[in-house]
Amino acid sequence: MDIPDKDLLAPGHRGCAGCGASIAVKLALNALGKNTVAISATGCLEVMTTPYPETSWEVPFIHVAFENSGAVASGVESALRIQGKDDVNVVAFGGDGGTVDIGLQSLSGAMERGHNMLYICYDNEAYMNTGIQRSGATPYGASTTTSPKGTASFGEDKPKKNMPMIMAAHGIPYVATASIAYPEDYVKKVKKAAETKGPAYIHLQQPCTTGWGFPSEKTIEMGRLAVETGSWILYEIDHGNFEITFRPEERRPVKDYLSTQKRFKHLDEEHIEKIQKYVDAECKELGL
């Protein structure tokens, strides 16, 4: 992998020790290069990288509200196009809350109108910045502060919203899933998305040490476990062609992934079995 002399996301940001979001953004910006305008919805990323009057961004950056990063990215892209600046990458980043819940309508509009932009959802599977509240992307069984484990609840009782397939249903030219634990695969997809004419969407799983409850050094290991157990599947849909981009040699039991995180530690065998069945069905459907 190409290592730049200087990353386009500067250190000194306030991300937690072991933060996956900064790895996600660093790798994406390095792949896109300096000729990029970045937009970010409200969320961990914006809070940790731009505590006024400081910024970690080495490219032009706009922070917008939770719900409108798709709309603002559309505007930036249109303004650049009218000025004849066709060689500038426009990339929007949103967390799972800013993407699958609050920002969904403006993102849907941006995708449907065909803007030449890339949207990357860094999915840490809950609202981590505001105190680990559940989102539409929180997986079944996870304990969060608004779906807490206890006598009346076993945690989140609904499966994760299938956001990449919602994006694929827009008929846009490029949709992919990725993981920070597989940087070559991720960077390749970012470059492919940038080269694609029209809208592109990447849904990136990003383990969160604070919200998921694992030691800070395990961020990448946790992403790898998600993929090795089939809990997170790496694929792309390039102009309608679906392809799995990474196949684990042998799929590990989902328990290996669940038992290492505090948010799943309370689950009994019955729930683990249910999650295993859900993962098996998903893998079968996608051909993993």
Partner 1 sequence: MVSIGCVIKTPGNSRNNKTGSWRTFKPILDKEKCIDCDNCIIFCPDSSVNKQHDIDYDYCKGCGICANECPSDAIEMVKE
* Sites of contact with partner 1 (CB under 8 A): 1, 3, 5, 7, 9-15, 17-20, 22-23, 26-27, 49-59, 180, 183, 209, 215-221
The answer for residues whose C-beta is within 8 angstroms of residue 85's C-beta and 6 or more apart is none
In sequence order, what are the residues at sequence separation of 6 or more whose Cβ sits closer than 8 angstroms to the Cβ of residue 54? 12
Give me the least distance between CB of 213 and partner 1, in Å please.
Answer: 15
Q: Please, which residues have CB within 8 angstroms of residue 33's CB and are 6 or more apart in sequence?
A: 8, 89
Q: For partner 1, which is the closer residue by CB, 1 or 82?
A: 1
Least Å from the CB of residue 91 to partner 1: 16
**Exposed, middle or buried, 10 (CB in 10 Å: 0-12/13-18/19+)?**
middle
Nearer CB in complex with partner 1: 249/285: 249
Residue 202 CB, nearest approach to partner 1 (Å):
18
Q: Which is nearer to partner 1, 220 or 286 (CB)?
A: 220
Q: Report helix angle 183-195 to 20-32, nearest 10.
A: 40
* Rounded distance between C-alpha atoms, residue 28 and residue 31, angstroms: 5
CB closer to partner 1 out of 119 and 182? 182
The full DSSP string for 14-37 is -PPTT-HHHHHHHHHHHHH-SSEE
Q: In the bound complex, what is the minimum distance in angstroms from residue 277's beta carbon to partner 1? A: 31
Euclidean distance between CA atoms 215 and 208, whole angstroms:
10
Nearest to partner 1 of 11, 84 (CB atom): 11
Min. distance of Cβ 52 from partner 1 in angstroms?
Answer: 6
